[in-house]
Chains A and B, each alone.
Chain A
Amino acid sequence: MTDIETLLRATLRSHADRAPTADEVLRELPDLGSLAPGEPREDTPRRSVKRWAIPALAAAAVAIVVVSAAVLLPDRNGESRGVSNHPSTSPLAPQAPPGTRLVGMGRLAVAVPEGWSTNDEKCGIPLSNTVLFEANGQRTCLITLRPKVSALHIVSTTSAFARPWMNQDLPSSEVDGVTIERSPTRTGGDPPLAHMGNGLAVGALVAPSEGVVMWMTSPDPTVVDSVLDSVIVLPAGWVTIPFNPNLPLLPNELVALKRIGLNVEITRRDLPGRSAGALSGVTPAFGSVVPVGSTVHLVVDSGN
C-alpha cells in the first residue's frame, strides 16, 4: 500500500467521526407513524431519540396494517378524511361557503366548488375542473386547452409560472393584514394574457409577503371572481397541506410537514409498473386546509 493509500485510509477513518450521529439522523426522520398520545411533538423539547423517534418508527409499521385497510386512492374516499379526524369545532375555524372547500398554499386559501379535483392535468392542461399545483406545463403535448374547464393554479412566487403575474403593476388590498394584489378578470388570448389562450376568463391574485400566486382560468368570468374574491388568511392553528409530489422520497419534506404541525402516515401499496417510493395518493389532497395536528395519509408504491 502506498503512502497516499495509507493516508487516505487514516483520513477516512478520522473524518468519519465528524458524521452526524445516529441520534441526529433518527431525530429528524419523518414521523412515519402517528406518535402515541402524550409523546412529545416537534414543538416540545426533544428527549433522547431512542425514547420517541424510534418507537414512532415502530408505530409506522403498525400504521401500515391499520391504514392499509382504510386508505385507498384519495379520489375514492373523498378528501376530508384527515379533517374528519379533527372536527372543526374551533370558533376560529375558517368557514368555506356551502358547496365549496378551502384550498391554498401557506396561510392563504380560497374556496373552490367541492367537486373540483386536484391536479387533474396532462402537460399542465387541466382536464376537468381542478386545482393545479405547479403544473408541469413545459412539456410539449398534443393536447389543447379545454374550453369548458375551470382551473385554479396555485404556485409559489419563485415559480416560473408566477412570472407573468409578478411583473404586473396590480391593484392591491389588505386581507387580515396581508397585502394581496388582484388582477382584474380579463379574457385570455389577448395581450398581456396571450399565453392563456382560448378565450377563457383569467384573473389572479398575488401575495408577495406570503410567496403565493393563484390564478384562475374559466369560461365563466363570475367563477373566476367568486373563487379569487373568497381569499382568506388562515387563522392560527390552521394550515394548508404543502404540495410536493416527491414527498416520500424526501425525508426533509416530510419533516417540513411535521414542523407545521401535521402528522404523517404512510401506507405501502403494490401496483405493477410503479417504482418504489412513488407517491400514489395524498389524503387530504394537497392544498387542503386542515387544523394543526391533522394526519396526512400518503400512499406510497412499494415497487414490488
Chain B
Amino acid sequence: MASGAPANDGRPGCSKTGGSCINEGVGTLSEQNRGADFTRFAASEAGRLARLAYTLTGDYEAARDLTQDALVAVFGSWERVASADSPVAYARRVLINRRLADLRRPRVDELLTAEPDGWVAAAGSEDGKYDEREAVWQALSNITVRQRTVLVLRYYEDLSDSEIADLLRCRQSTVRSLAARGIAGLRSIVLGSAAVDRREVEPPEPRSTKT
C-alpha cells in the first residue's frame, strides 16, 4: 500500500481518514453526519487521488476530471463506501474503473483554445541535457492504458500483483504480463530516445583519417 493510506483501527468496517473514523456508527448517525464524513474524506484524500489520476492519465485536466468524477461517484454511494473496509481503496477502485471505462466510451476531441491551467512544458531540462525522467514520462503515454495502469499501481501505489489483479479483476499472470510488456515498451522507447538524444547532443566522433 502506498504511503498515506488510512490506517485501519482493527474494528470491522472502520477506517481512519483525516483523523476520524469514517463509518463510525453508520446506521445510527444522521445523514448530516454522513455528509460530514464524506467531506472529511474528500478533503483528506482528494489530493492523493488526484496524484494517482495524474500518473494514470499524464494530463492535468484529465486528472482533475477523473478525480472529480470518482469523488462524485463515491458520494453517490457513500453509505456503501463508508462501510467498506477501506474507503480509500474503494475510491481508488472507482477511479481506476472510470479510467479504464473511459477507453470504452466514444472519444470527444477537444479543441484547445488556450493554454490549460497547470500546463507544464515537457521536453528536456533547461540546460538541454537529456532528461531521463521526462523521457520515461513521455514514454508512458506510448504504452497501452492497461499497461500504464499496472505500472502505476505497482511502482507508484506499491501494490502487489495480487492486489492489482484484484483491482483490475484479472489474473495475476495477466498483471505480470502487462507489467513486463509495459516495462519492455518503456525501455525500448527510452533507450531509443536516449540514443537519438546523444546523437543530437554529442558531437560526432571525428572520422579516422587512416586509410
A interface residues, Cβ below 8 angstroms from B: 2, 4-5, 7-22, 24-26, 28-30, 32-33, 50, 54-55, 57-62, 64-65, 248-252, 254, 266, 268, 276-277, 300, 302-304
Contact = CB atoms under 8 A, between A and B. Distances in A.
Nearest to A26: B46
A57 B54 contact: no
Nearest to B60: A20
Given A16-B156, A21-B50, A62-B31, A251 B77 contact: no
Sort A-B residue pairs by CB-CB distance and give the 7 closest, nearest first.
A61-B35, A19-B54, A22-B47, A22-B46, A251-B68, A12-B156, A16-B51
Contacts of A19: 47, 50-51, 53-55, 60, 63
Given A4-B183, A18-B120, A277 B50 contact: no
Contact of B43 (A50, A252, A304): A50
B118 A20 contact: yes
A25 B67 contact: yes
Contacts of B42: 26, 29, 54, 57
B171 interface: no
Contacts of B186: 4, 8
Given A22-B50, A25-B64, A8 B75 contact: no
A1 to B, nearest CB: 9
Interface in B72-105: 72-73, 75-78, 80
Q: Name the prevailing secondary structure of the A interface residues.
A: helix
Contacts of A16: 51-52, 54-55, 156
Interface stretch (B129-137, B161-169, B200-208): B129-137
B65 interface: yes
A7 to B, nearest CB: 5
Nearest to A33: B35
B28 interface: no
B64 A57 contact: no
A14 B50 contact: no
A25 B68 contact: yes
Contact of A15 (B49, B72, B133): B133
A25 B60 contact: no
B144 interface: no
Contact of A5 (B31, B54, B72, B183): B183
Given A58-B39, A59-B35, A248-B76, 14 more contacts: A7-B133, A12-B151, A16-B55, A19-B53, A20-B60, A21-B47, A22-B47, A25-B64, A26-B42, A26-B46, A62-B32, A251-B72, A276-B73, A303-B76
Nearest to A65: B31
B187 interface: yes
Nearest to A29: B68
B35 A25 contact: no
Given A11-B133, A12-B152, A277-B73, A25 B47 contact: yes
Nearest to A252: B65
Nearest to A57: B39
Nearest to B182: A8
A55 B39 CA distance: 7
A212 B30 CA distance: 45
B24 interface: no
Contacts of A12: 55, 151-152, 155-156
Contacts of A21: 47, 50
A29 B43 contact: no
Contacts of B64: 20, 24-25, 28
Contacts of A268: 76
Contact of B187 (A4, A17, A62, A252): A4
21 contacts: A2-B187, A4-B190, A7-B190, A11-B132, A15-B133, A15-B137, A16-B156, A18-B54, A19-B55, A20-B60, A22-B43, A25-B49, A25-B71, A32-B75, A33-B35, A55-B39, A58-B38, A62-B35, A64-B35, A65-B32, A248-B76
B156 A28 contact: no
A304 to B, nearest CB: 7
A242 B11 CA distance: 46
B181 to A, nearest CB: 13
Contact of B36 (A18, A58, A251, A303): A58
Interface string B179-196: 000010011001000000
Interface in B136-174: 136-137, 140, 151-152, 155-156
